[in-house]
Amino acid sequence: MSLPKKVRLVEVGPRDGLQNEMQPVPAATKIELIDRLAACGLTAIEAAAFVSPKWVPQMADAAEVMQGIDRRTGVSYPVLVPNEQGLEAALAAGASEIAVFAAASEAFSQKNINCSVRESLERFKPVLARAKGAEANGIRVRGYVSCVLGCPYQGEVTPAAVADVAWALFEMGCHEISLGDTVGLGTPEKAKAMIEAVARRVPIKKLAGHYHDTWGMAIANIYASLQMGVNVFDASVGGLGGCPYAQGASGNVATEDVVWLLQGLGIDCGVNLDALVDTAAWISGQLGRAPTSKVAQALLARRGD
């Protein structure tokens, strides 16, 4: 299969990237990060999560962040919600797109949200019904599937299990399904086999790749996914992030590394790489460290920054 001509990137740094930071990150910093990312040309920026501050204290200011961002025409700002209570808070804050999440691993589902995979999917049915109803103006819902290429608790996760969860979310009404290698265990051929299984149930154009770089395979897995026809990928500026329920899992693949790959392949993603690297350097500085992504390090060194 030929590679896609155009790719859409979903920037998850402000939510998935920052939620695992131990130090408090002020709402003003989160707002500036989101506005900077939009100025780089990113058209989908996951802005916050309306979850319990008891479990994810970094997201306690989600409403303040949503109210403070400069919403650009043509840019979507999805937020993560775990249940109906989270949905109501997101709607009150003006969210126009939400995301829900389930796991392909029974063990991970129990550790993460204290219920089985089936129970988690049942919880989302009223969320999607409410989100897509007239009262909520039919807002779009994105579905995440965690642990698609392995689980830190149960180990192997079969492609069939991933396909079952992806199909359930798609059938409920999710407009797109993001397939998450939560702990970065995947390799290219495993990624292809997983995508092939899911694509038998969900159209390939409705799938996105979400790869963590724990074992250094994220870029290779993205290239393999491109070969399968996937043209949407999640990424996190500066490689920010991790998973609080997956010990040792590093952040998502860095957005600037993905942009460099796409540019090298002649694929349009609409993102200004220099501005993105500047943003990676800025947010890393706010967190008291240097950018960790290879592309940011290389371009900053070349410029003498």
CB 21 within 8 A of CB 242: no
- Among the residue ranges 74-83, 95-104, 130-139, 205-214, the one predicted with the least confidence is 130-139
- The H or E element that residue 10 is part of is strand 8-11
Tokens, residue 131: 């989100």
Is residue 103 in a domain? yes
Residues 213-228: tens digit of each pLDDT = 999 999 999 999 999 9
Is residue 3 in a domain? no
Tokens, residue 145: 């599937």
Residue 149: half-sphere exposure toward Cβ, Cα within 13 Å: 30
Q: Residues 77-103: what's their mean pLDDT?
A: 95
Residues 237-264: tens digit of each pLDDT = 999 986 555 555 567 999 999 999 999 9
Is residue 2 in a domain? no
Is residue 19 in a domain? yes
Is residue 1 in a domain? no
CB 12 within 8 A of CB 42: no
Note if 40 is an active site residue.
Answer: no
pTM: 0.95
Q: Residues 106-116: what's their mean pLDDT?
A: 87
Is residue 176 in a domain? yes
40, 147, 151, 243: which is the annotated catalytic residue? Answer: 243
Domain count, the chain: 1
**Parent domain of 63:** 8-303
Q: Specify the CATH number for the domain of residue 242.
A: 3.20.20.70
Handedness of CA 72, 33, 178, 127 (dihedral sign): negative
